[in-house]
Structure 1
Amino acid sequence: MKVIAVEEHWITPGIDRAWRTQPKRSRDESVALNDRGDLQARLLDVGERRIEAMDEAGIDLQILSIAPPGTHGLPASEAIALSREANDLADAAVARHPTRLRAMTTLPMSDPDAAVAELLRTANAPAQVGIMSYGRSGDRPLDDPAHDELLAAAAHLGRPLFVHPQIASNTVRDASYRGFDPTVELALSTFGWGWHVEAGLAALRLILRGTFDRHPDLRIVLGHWGEFLLFALDRIDSLSNVATGLDRRVAEYFATNVHIATSGMLTPRLLRHALDFTSVDRILLSGDYPFHRLDAGTLAKFLETLPDHEDRHKIAAGNAQALFRLGSSPSEA
């Protein structure tokens, strides 16, 4: 059975350096999380070491996605140059490993016009199959009207938008995440809670802004089993009672425009719960490499919890092949 992992992180030396040299108040502190163990070396590698890790985990194809915070929030001139460089480096990596890698496009969202231009520049690149995005660039949210042209272009090109977690703004962190040891503060505002709230909120804002009414072909992906949203969908749908300008109820967009990725959390109870609120056709396998390290045994055991062989194939590869237009096998992508 083919296995495709859709959210597999990497970083460029230029993007990493840019964030580490930002003024303190502008710096994204989550970059420090990349310094644990050998994460930094694994993030920088898009060659043989990554392929070896894929082989060990039983992964046939990875879709490379720039690690948070990408170029979001960097000054526009830096973001433009570094996004272009990242996409060119991803193209080169895929050219070296055409049956094993694809990539999500990195965009300079701090300049909405430049982001559209970069998406169009990469429109015909065989390596580029999706967009790695975050819910906010500086103080501008993803649903801001300034990004509507980009969202329209993504829909037109059939490029799914992965809405990835990012650390909350300093204002929110000051109000909600401070008061602890700095290590605890960072963990609480990132992987312990804040990342997931931020990504889920970004997706809800896209729905409430009418994004999917204007661009019904736009598809987004949420990691970590839907960033809490599936688990509160009954409650969230009550927004429909006040958001009366939408074409449909809020929960209905999850059946048509939202896909869910596992982000390395191969827990059968999460799968069972997700299937109460979405269909098997909407679930994508992602390893969240190198922050999670899948192994072949755990992956096989997880897929075996699905009694239907066709459902196993859908989550392992079929759904990704359809959403990212990868063909019937990685070698045909």
Structure 2
Amino acid sequence: MRLYGLEEHFVTADVVEAWQRHDPRLAAPMMKWAVASDITPALLDLGSERVAAMDDAGIDVSVLSLTTPGLQDLDPAEAVALQAPTNDAIAAAVRRHPGRFQGFAALATSAPRAAATELRRAVTELGLNGTLVNANSRGRALDAPEFWDIYEAAEDLRVPVYLHPSVPFPAVTGAYYRGFGAPVDDMLATGAFGWHYDAGLTVLRMIIAGVFDRFPGLQLVLGHWGEVVLFYLDRIAAMDKLTELRRPIAEYFRSNIFITPGGISSHRYLRWSLETVGVERIMYASDYPFNRERAGSARRFLETAPIAQADRERIAHRNWEELIAGIRR
């Protein structure tokens, strides 16, 4: 049973330098973790150590993605200058390790037209399999019409867009995620809750804004068991009569959105997701290296799940392979 990991992060030295210029004090929580922690070497590695970690976890193929905040907080000119070299680095890693790596393109979302053009190059020339974007870009949530050029390109290419969390806007962080001291504040605003609530709200805004009515073929991938919003679809249905959408909000989750665990190895959440969106909408992701998998744990999560073997194989590899088989190169 082949096992794909779809949220497997990395960073390049050039991007680290750009982040440090943008945030010299490493004030943002993600900067401390990505630039100056024991995780940094694993993020920078696109070679044998990463492959060894995959082997240890039981992952056959990692789909590489630039870790949050990617290029999205940088000045547009700097972000545009970095997107092609970053994607070239992903493609080079895939060539060095064929059969073990695939890639999501990194995009300069603050320059959406340039980002859309780069997505086309990354897919048609470099062979990447979509893009990973973070939930906001320089103070703008990704439902805003200015970003729709990216979704138009993704739909045309038939590639997925993995929507990853990012730190909530400063005003939100200050109001809701402060007051308990730096370590607790930082985790509350990011990996414990804030990231996930923010990303789920972004997807909900995309639906309500009409992104999927305008681009009905667009396929989004949402990690961490649907970033909270998946668990509130019955309640969110109260908005159906208030919008002018073509379908009930929950239906978009069953036709345009895939769900991954993003490193949360919970059979309870898996059962809920299966009941809510169906096995055809679930794929695997480990969130490496932020979630350090124990020996064999990625494969063990699926092998011990209380589901049929056919469903196990669909989550492990069939859904992803069917999705990327339709990409227009």
- In the superposition, the TM-score normalised over structure 2's length comes to 0.94
Distance 1:187 1:174, change over 3 A: same
Q: Which amino acid aligns with 2:110?
A: S
Contact 2:57/2:299 (8 A) holds in 1: no
Question: Structure 1 CA distance, aligned partners of 2:74 and 2:298?
Answer: 37
Question: Structure 2 CA distance, aligned partners of 1:107 and 1:300?
Answer: 31
Give the equivalent residue in structure 2 for 1:107: 107
Give the equivalent residue in structure 2 for 1:276: 275
**SS in structure 2 of the partner of residue 192 of structure 1:** coil
Are 1:299 and 2:308 an aligned pair? no
Give the equivalent residue in structure 1 for 2:310: 310
Aligned length: 326
Correspondences of 1:1-333 after superposition (within 5 Å): 1-23=1-23, 28-34=28-34, 38-243=38-243, 245-295=244-294, 297-303=296-302, 304-325=304-325
**SS in structure 1 of the partner of residue 115 of structure 2:** helix
Question: Structure 1 CA distance, aligned partners of 2:94 and 2:288?
Answer: 17
Question: Structure 2 CA distance, aligned partners of 1:33 and 1:157?
Answer: 34
Structure 1 window deviating more from structure 2 (57-66 vs 20-29): it is: 20-29
Contact 1:154/1:160 (8 A) holds in 2: yes
Q: Deviation string for 1:120-168 (max 9, x for gaps)?
A: 2223135410111012111222111111122111011011011100001
**SS in structure 2 of the partner of residue 187 of structure 1:** helix
Q: CA deviation at 1:326?
A: 8.7
Q: Identity of counterpart residues, as a percentage?
A: 39
Q: Deviation string for 1:50-98 (max 9, x for gaps)?
A: 1111111121110001110000121011101111111010011111111
**SS in structure 2 of the partner of residue 271 of structure 1:** helix
Give the equivalent residue in structure 2 for 1:331: none
**SS in structure 2 of the partner of residue 123 of structure 1:** helix
Question: Structure 1 CA distance, aligned partners of 2:252 and 2:48?
Answer: 40
| 5+ residue gaps, structure 2 | none
Question: Structure 2 CA distance, aligned partners of 1:290 and 1:23?
Answer: 22
Contact 2:286/2:298 (8 A) holds in 1: no
Contact 2:123/2:130 (8 A) holds in 1: no
Q: CA deviation at 1:37?
A: 5.3
**SS in structure 2 of the partner of residue 106 of structure 1:** coil
Question: Structure 2 CA distance, aligned partners of 1:297 and 1:94?
Answer: 23
Q: CA deviation at 1:237?
A: 1.7
Question: Structure 1 CA distance, aligned partners of 2:320 and 2:188?
Answer: 31
**SS in structure 2 of the partner of residue 172 of structure 1:** helix
Question: Structure 2 CA distance, aligned partners of 1:41 and 1:102?
Answer: 20
Q: CA deviation at 1:214?
A: 0.9
| 5+ residue gaps, structure 1 | 328-333
Contact 1:134/1:165 (8 A) holds in 2: yes
Q: Deviation string for 1:245-273 (max 9, x for gaps)?
A: 10001111011001001111121111111
Question: Structure 2 CA distance, aligned partners of 1:24 and 1:91?
Answer: 29
Q: CA deviation at 1:242?
A: 0.8
Give the equivalent residue in structure 2 for 1:330: none
- In the superposition, the TM-score normalised over structure 1's length comes to 0.93
Question: What is the alpha-carbon root mean square deviation over aligned residues?
Answer: 1.9
**SS in structure 1 of the partner of residue 231 of structure 2:** helix
